A = this chain, B = another copy of it.
Amino acid sequence: MPLRLDSKAAGFAADFTALVDARREADEDVSRDVSAILKAVRAHGDTALADYTRRFDHHDLNVSGWAVDPADCRAALDGLSSELRDALELAAARITAYHEKQKPVDSDGIDAAGVRLGARWTAVDAAGLYVPGGRAAYPSSLLMNVIPAKVAGVQRIAMVTPTPKGEINPLVLAAAQIAGIEEIWRVGGAQAVASLAYGTDRIKPVDVITGPGNAWVAEAKRQLYGVVGIDMVAGPSEIVVVADDQNDADWIAADLLSQSEHDPTSQSILFTDDAAFADAVEQAVMRRLPLLSTQAVATTSWAANGAIILVRDLDEAMPLVDRLAPEHLELAVDDPDRYFAQVRHAGSVFLGRMTPEAVGDYVAGPNHVLPTGRRARFSSGLSVLDFMKRTSFLGLTPEAIRAIGPAAVALAEAEGLPAHAASVALRL
């Protein structure tokens, strides 16, 4: 049974705080294992990669092949139904269009003191993309990670993915073909992340690594942060739905279950101002669960992490939503902007009754790689900016250095840095 809370009940404040603070992230002690793997790959390169792949994925890279043949990607795409191929192509086109608007603008100008000041953005040279094997190998995630890098102008994209017993998901290969990925290595786990960060004889190092993975992959990225850039540390997925009683309970139940079916650690929370609607949604969830091929996962997650919170009115819900800082927030009301104006912390917001979160997972355009675990308080979804960096620049004329140089000399002297002071004073 999901948690039921009522904002009018005694003890609500404490109960809600407990919900906010509850940690759904596994405290798996993988840090030492990952350190050892990173060291081994750094020291032994491809030999270590082959060893780990034999051990964890049960195939020999020197027999099954290190890289995926581009012809296999073309064949996978050709093998799709035209409906699925069109869907992938629509998704790619819409994701591209949305991310094109994220491209930053350079600046270059001269201010009142005669100082030339500006900023120039450039793409990183190479990006690495981790794609999980097995059930979590989603073609949509591949598009969401690769397209921002392509839009940024990244010249080389190297994908790594484990192929347990040598097998690989053809949908992923088809998506790779649509995204224009030409370099795919059949390695996974922390060892694959290490190979992208440090480079090996076969795999050249990259500058940024993104993409979802298990606890070992996440910990490898965390440990390599600074050697390379990474996307945010990702945790279990979550959705908050704010809904009045004018919604169809079946729709809202499906929206809640669309998070619950991801993983047993996923979380779905409904805020509503109507107790009868809350009951209707709960019943609709129970009716839908048996219909799902993902029933086992969804049932576990809904029972363990689901919550229905009754509030006096929806305005009361908004500060509570902010404390949760959810990855996904649906505002299933007639006037979503009224409530959206009160939201400070959320990864992505879905406005109105006709905007289920799942359209954002696939085809709407915004990125579905979003901050989880309350990280929307300080971080953003994946974007073109994650694959670019900014170089600031300045240029002084003799007049400009006379205008601002003496202040620099005074500050350098006060900080006890005489060569700083001299480098300016000599030019005055």
Contacts and interface: CB of A to CB of B under 8 A. Distances in A.
Interface of A: 83-84, 86-88, 90-91, 94, 97-98, 101-102, 107, 111, 113, 115-117, 119, 122, 124-125, 135, 138-140, 171, 207-208, 222, 225-226, 228-229, 232-233, 248, 250-251, 254-255, 257-258, 260-262, 288, 291-294, 298, 336, 340, 343-352, 354-367, 370-371, 375-381, 383, 385, 389-398, 400-401, 404-408, 410-412, 414-424, 426-427
A112 to B, nearest CB: 9
A405 B84 CA distance: 13
A423 to B, nearest CB: 4
Nearest to A118: B366
Contacts of A424: 356, 358-359
Contact of A418 (B116, B233, B291, B377): B291
Given A117-B364, A336-B395, 18 more contacts: A94-B113, A171-B415, A208-B378, A226-B232, A254-B426, A257-B423, A258-B422, A291-B422, A293-B416, A348-B392, A349-B393, A358-B420, A359-B405, A362-B411, A363-B408, A366-B392, A376-B391, A385-B385
B361 A420 contact: yes
Q: Which of A138, A359, A419 has the most CB of B within 10 A?
A: A419
A378 B383 contact: no
B225 A225 contact: yes
Contacts of A398: 354
Contacts of A119: 102, 366
B380 A389 contact: yes
Given A87-B411, A356-B424, A415-B138, A404 B226 contact: no
A370 to B, nearest CB: 8
Nearest to A391: B346
25 contacts: A87-B411, A124-B377, A125-B344, A228-B378, A229-B378, A254-B419, A258-B423, A262-B417, A288-B422, A293-B416, A293-B418, A294-B416, A347-B391, A349-B392, A350-B393, A354-B398, A355-B396, A358-B421, A359-B401, A361-B412, A362-B407, A364-B396, A364-B404, A371-B389, A380-B389
Contacts of A360: 392, 394
Given A251-B423, A293-B416, A411-B91, A391 B348 contact: yes
Contact of A359 (B385, B408, B426): B408
Contacts of A363: 404, 407-408, 411
Q: Which of A357, A401, A418 has the most CB of B within 10 A?
A: A418
A91 B207 CA distance: 34
Contacts of A97: 111
